[in-house]
Amino acid sequence: MKLIILDRDGVINFDSDQFIKNPEEWKPIPGSLEAIALLNQAGYRVVVATNQSGVGRGLFDMPTLNAIHDKMHKASALVGARIDAVFFCPHTADSNCHCRKPKAGMLEEIAARYNVSLAGVPAVGDSLRDLQSAATMGAQPYLVLTGKGFKTRAAGGLPEGTLVFTDLAAVVAELL
């Protein structure tokens, strides 16, 4: 089985320092959904692993998060793309949970759900914590320069072997 793990905010959709708090604020990055469709056509299962501390902070509730993801799924379907599953951490950074990236809990759950090793599996993110989580599991970290990507690259300290691309479409073009 071919699998790819994507962060959400800053990879699939535009990010916001004030959080994506409702479906109206969720806007896809041009080309990202079409890139997911190409992955699907090439036989990839596409899963999302996303920190969503806005839930834990009380900025939005679970029904709102579900509505945001529903919008993402519907927008994907309109271009022939499918996201197989969305894994998320609703906790705040200070909760010290195991599922919040850069810890590996979400990726461990993905590996268990699909009964696969994540060794070499592409994992695309725009922040250091996305890449660290991927590297912990032996996945191949890809940094995109959308979202927080430019700042992440400039700050340095990327896991060894991290590949850098302009956006998700460029990652997909390289993979395919």
Catalytic entry in 7, 15, 126, 130: 7
How many whole angstroms separate alpha carbon 59 and alpha carbon 33?
26
Name 124's bridge partners: 6, 142
- Which overall architecture, per CATH, does domain 2-175 show? 3-Layer(aba) Sandwich (3.40)
Going by C-alpha positions, the residue among 85, 2, 10 that lies closest to residue 38 is: 2
Residue type, 108: E
Concerning whether 7 is annotated as a catalytic residue, the answer is yes
How many whole angstroms separate alpha carbon 64 and alpha carbon 173?
33
8 Å CB contact between 143 and 164 = yes
pLDDT tens per residue across span 118-147? 999 999 999 999 999 999 999 999 999 999
Catalytic entry in 9, 15, 126, 130: 9
pLDDT tens per residue across span 1-28? 999 999 999 999 999 999 999 999 999 9
How many whole angstroms separate alpha carbon 123 and alpha carbon 117?
13
Concerning whether 9 is annotated as a catalytic residue, the answer is yes
- Domain edges within the chain: 2-175
